[in-house]
Chains A and B, each alone.
Chain A
Amino acid sequence: MNKAVEVKNVVKVYGGVVRALNGVDLDVDEGSVYALLGPNGAGKTTLIRVMTTQLRPNEGYVKVFGYDVVNQASKVRELIGYVPQEVSLWSDLTGYENLLIYAKIYGIPKDVRKRVVEEVLDFMGLKEAANRLVRTYSGGMIRRLEIASAVMVKPKLMVLDEPTIGLDPSARKSVWERIISCKKEFGVTVFFATHYMDEADKYADRISLMSSGKIITSGTPEELKALAGGDKVLLKVSNVSETLSTLSKLNYVVVSKVNNGEVEFIVNRSAEALPKVLKELMSNGVEVDEIKIHEASLDEVFIKLTGRSALQEVGRIKEVISARRMIRRGG
């Protein structure tokens, strides 16, 4: 399979002091959805900014469809659609006007420009709102309009920096529905950064966990969750000893705890394994009264590997932002 993105040993140091990327390696297969998952300050945005030709790496290289982001930057720019973490629209223009201006900046030919913009607005479910000022849009609409501006240019690679940051669950869902339908429609490769575990788990083919400027581990969601040691299942049963002897014959199950009438065991991919387990138990005459499942989460993997959570610590956002401002001021 062809590589859409190849990142090799990338180091990025801001202002000679902040080592935001500290030797990053990853490969994104063409046509896949790839998630970069990590907490605040992990370096996700920095990697994306290097990938989208905004910043030069201090060491290492990034190639997009074989083109180097430093030496062949203009080639790379023709292949990517990009949604930054912060809002990239002019809020005092309408949705339509924003796309029209971007269409001209991207050099979409005059004879198709209007049609392309109208089609993509329709595709993103923004037809009705097209002539309203962006200032009046909801967060979800803003994100959809930005994704529209990224797909409008028919990119081979879409780079999305926290596409659903700050959105409520239903807006997040609708943004993802659009991203997925773009992928289906145009076969575009999607690379996104997030700190929402569930999104990486649900939508990505592959995930890299990032912390302190390094990739800690990469794999499919299943592979990563297996690192957490699998799902925990707790059964309340009529006959504990019969249950134990049945389970001991199943090689994909490990019993972890037994206590009056309850058996806890660990299994990978409980959603698929559990029906089989229950069938075995029933055919041996065991009645199951209650089932509790605790699925392994990517966060557990994260904690296991780094000792801290990937979940956004809400109280910290402000500090991070003000700390960053200080760095920018150089003071």
Chain B
Amino acid sequence: MVKTSFKLTPIFAMAEMELRRLRHDPLEIVTRAIQPILWVAVFGTVMARVRAFPSVGDYVTFIAPGVVLQSSTFIALAYGIMLVFERESGILKKLLSTPIPRSYIVLGRSLAGAIRASTQYVIVLASAAAVGARITNNPINLVLGYLILTYSCMGFTSLSILIASALKTRERFMGIIGAITMPLFFASNALYPLEVMPPAIQALSLINPLTYTVSALRTLLVVNTFNILNDFLAITAFVVVSIAAAMKTLNRIIE
């Protein structure tokens, strides 16, 4: 009989599981990066040439953080499908019989999904820099940007777990995720500044957690300051609420 201690090891173990998985099969990360790279390299450079949004300065630089976010949130939001699979396999059953509290399953898996999603940070930022985006080279800002992105993606992953728990089947899940991902992206400041949006979309984008994450990344990576407290608080509210809600609904996927 093994004595269990209330350590966080089980949560990190689930993140480690994801990293090991990535190491065995890095291809998905690369293929996932193709679309965002095209956004920056093609869409970004074309729009920069027509100077559609003069207020934002260099357009490629402007959208780089937004496209990172778009790519990462897409992966994070799709992550809940893992729970649907694991419900059909025996993994979820097994996890439920282990001594860890059920909340650890949500915490561990949202961290795992966030880590998978955050791989886009490196790939997309590097590609953006390669086509001329002026991203800071201050390592502290870069690391903070990575942490903020991962943190925010924990919220999106638990949102995904929440949806998976409520819908229970892959078909329904994929349907909903497909339906919310693009609107989430468009109703944010990822591609254009808030000022140019119609008032209704602007209001939506102000309750969209993507907006705050993009804003924090822009401050850190483009403006090159640490002025992100408000964004951080907004992201925290989102992460806490969606993790708590995912913990509450997890019971529904069990039966």
Residues of chain A touching chain B, judged by Cβ–Cβ distance below 8 Å, are 14-15, 49, 52-55, 74, 77-80, 82-90, 92-93, 97, 101-102, 104-109, 133, 149, 153-156, 159, 325, 328-330
Contact between B97 and A107 (Cβ–Cβ < 8 Å)?
no
The residue in chain A whose Cβ has the minimal distance to the Cβ of B254 is A54
Stretch at the interface among B84-92, B132-140, B175-183: B84-92
The residue in chain A whose Cβ has the minimal distance to the Cβ of B4 is A107
Per a CB cutoff under 8 Å, which of B17, B97, B169, B254 touches A90?
A: B17
Within the complex, what minimum Cβ distance (angstroms) separates A109 from chain B? Answer: 8
Contact between A107 and B99 (Cβ–Cβ < 8 Å)?
yes
Per a CB cutoff under 8 Å, which of A82, A92, A325 touches B94?
A: A82
Chain B interfacial residues counted at CB < 8 A: 34
Query: Which residues does chain B contribute within 8 Å of A329, judged by CB atoms?
Result: 168-169
Cα distance A87–B96 in the bound complex, in angstroms = 14
Cα distance A55–B13 in the bound complex, in angstroms = 25
Whether B95 sits at the interface, judged by CB under 8 Å, is yes
Interchain pairs with CB closer than 8 A, number: 108
Query: Which residues does chain A contribute within 8 Å of B93, judged by CB atoms?
Result: 49, 52, 54, 82, 84, 86, 88
Whether B192 sits at the interface, judged by CB under 8 Å, is no
Contact between B98 and A15 (Cβ–Cβ < 8 Å)?
no
5 contacts across the A-B interface (CB closer than 8 A): A88-B90, A90-B21, A97-B20, A106-B99, A328-B169
Cα distance A85–B92 in the bound complex, in angstroms = 12
**Restricting to B88-138, which residues have a CB under 8 Å from any CB of A?**
88-91, 93-101
Give the top 8 A-B pairs by smallest Cβ distance, nearest first.
Answer: A84-B90, A104-B13, A88-B90, A86-B90, A88-B94, A107-B4, A52-B97, A84-B93
The residue in chain B whose Cβ has the minimal distance to the Cβ of A154 is B1
The residue in chain B whose Cβ has the minimal distance to the Cβ of A12 is B255
Within the complex, what minimum Cβ distance (angstroms) separates A78 from chain B? Answer: 5
Query: Which residues does chain B contribute within 8 Å of A109, judged by CB atoms?
Result: 2
Known contacts A88-B93, A154-B1; can you find 8 more A-B pairs with CB under 8 A? A55-B255, A77-B98, A90-B17, A93-B17, A97-B17, A106-B10, A107-B9, A109-B2
**Restricting to B21-39, which residues have a CB under 8 Å from any CB of A?**
21, 24-25
The residue in chain B whose Cβ has the minimal distance to the Cβ of A156 is B1
Contact between B4 and A106 (Cβ–Cβ < 8 Å)?
yes
Query: Which residues does chain A contribute within 8 Å of B10, judged by CB atoms?
Result: 104-107
Query: Which residues does chain A contribute within 8 Å of B90, judged by CB atoms?
Result: 83-88
Whether B16 sits at the interface, judged by CB under 8 Å, is yes
Decide yes or no: A133 and B24 within 8 Å by CB, A74-B99, A77-B97, A106-B99 being known contacts.
Answer: yes
